[in-house]
Structure 1
Amino acid sequence: MKHFIFAAITATCTLATPILAQDSDDAFVTFKVLKPEVAQTAALAAMQSCREAGYQVGVMVVDRFGSPQVYLRDRYAGLHVFETARRKAWTAVSFRTDTMSLSGLTEPGQMMAGIRELTEPLALGGGLVIEAAGSIVAGIGVSGAPGPDLDAECAQAGIDAIMDDIAF
């Protein structure tokens, strides 16, 4: 009987070791965010993409927590673009989805329509999540093009400009 109990305890400890190894006693978590220079490259590329298409826009890049990292505004962009670009980028990282998709999900009558009643989210296309190695590292929001789909295209150009820098 003693051998059986000893074998059971040994087997339990052996099987539990990998589980315990995954959960460290460290009180900290690690995460990645874009360096300011990389965020600036994305914002500039997005603005230039819209400029080449004839649009004057504002571009905001936020970190994974929604805090602003970079804001660029083209010379003739409207006054509203600061707030809308910031809120689009914030919404993308907060809800972990692009704001064009969120727009459809939050239409009146949809299950998530209540999101539109909150003060910060902006369910209007032009906000995209920036991901690297399966993790959100930033969000980018563009405002000022003549349609939210065009804002989203410029935001994607900003992400495309940094893909080599953030690819793992």
Structure 2
Amino acid sequence: MSIAHRIVLPSAVLALAVFALPATAQQATYTVKLLTPEVALTAAQAAMAQCRKAGHQVAVAVVDRSGVLQVLLRDRFAGAHTVDAATQKAWTAASFRIPTANLATETQAGKPMSGIRMLPHVMAIGGGQVIEAGGSTFAGIGVSGAPGGDADDACAVAGLKAIADAIEF
């Protein structure tokens, strides 16, 4: 190997390593998108309005993608239990990234994933929806207090529809 090769080859390897450092540093972090409090509130208000129109007194919770509560609304006559149930539905939808009615089906007794129901905070019953767009999960919304998970789900979906234009990209 000539002297030129002995100098150029290690220099080229060093240059590649130096230029690769920023790419490695960039891969060590990531960016997430979250709803603003205003958008989360809009979703919650729309869900509550839908339930009121149907004659239901409910609680509505919106959590961020990590399950941290952003908004909680409880109607005048919604039961005390609805606060925790709505929050847990929102948390479950955001955490598992699946509507809670679907999770209820997948985790029934005797199914391979039935043990998920024993985890803390999991609420495998209709009324929780994932808030997502453009391949990103932003949050979860949960509704509790309507007569049955289907009615809770209808209100949660109304909340999703109310903010669809704000989060689509």
TM-score over 0.5 for the alignment? yes
User: How big is the shift at 1:118?
Assistant: 1.7
SS at match of 2:161: helix
Which residue of structure 1 aligns with residue 127 of structure 2?
A: 126
Which residue of structure 2 aligns with residue 135 of structure 1?
A: 136
User: How big is the shift at 1:25?
Assistant: 3.6
Return the alpha-carbon distance in structure 1 between the equivalents of residues 22 and 30 of structure 2: 15
What pairs with 1:7-156 in structure 2 (closer than 5 Å)?
24-25=25-26, 27-156=28-157
Percent identity, aligned pairs only?
56
Return the alpha-carbon distance in structure 2 between the equivalents of residues 150 and 21 of structure 1: 51
Return the alpha-carbon distance in structure 1 between the equivalents of residues 119 and 86 of structure 2: 17
Return the alpha-carbon distance in structure 2 between the equivalents of residues 82 and 42 of structure 1: 16
TM-score by length of 1: 0.86
Unaligned runs of 5+ in 1: 3-9, 11-16
Please tell me the root mean square deviation across aligned C-alpha atoms, in Å.
2.7
Return the alpha-carbon distance in structure 1 between the equivalents of residues 26 and 37 of structure 2: 32
SS at match of 1:29: coil
SS at match of 1:69: strand
Which residue of structure 1 aligns with residue 5 of structure 2?
A: none
TM-score by length of 2: 0.86
Return the alpha-carbon distance in structure 2 between the equivalents of residues 94 and 119 of structure 1: 12
Unaligned runs of 5+ in 2: 3-11, 13-18
Structure 1 residues 153 and 24: CA distance shift in structure 2, 3 A? same
Deviations 1:129-168 (A, max 9, x none): 0002111001000000001011001000001000111110
Return the alpha-carbon distance in structure 2 between the equivalents of residues 30 and 113 of structure 1: 33
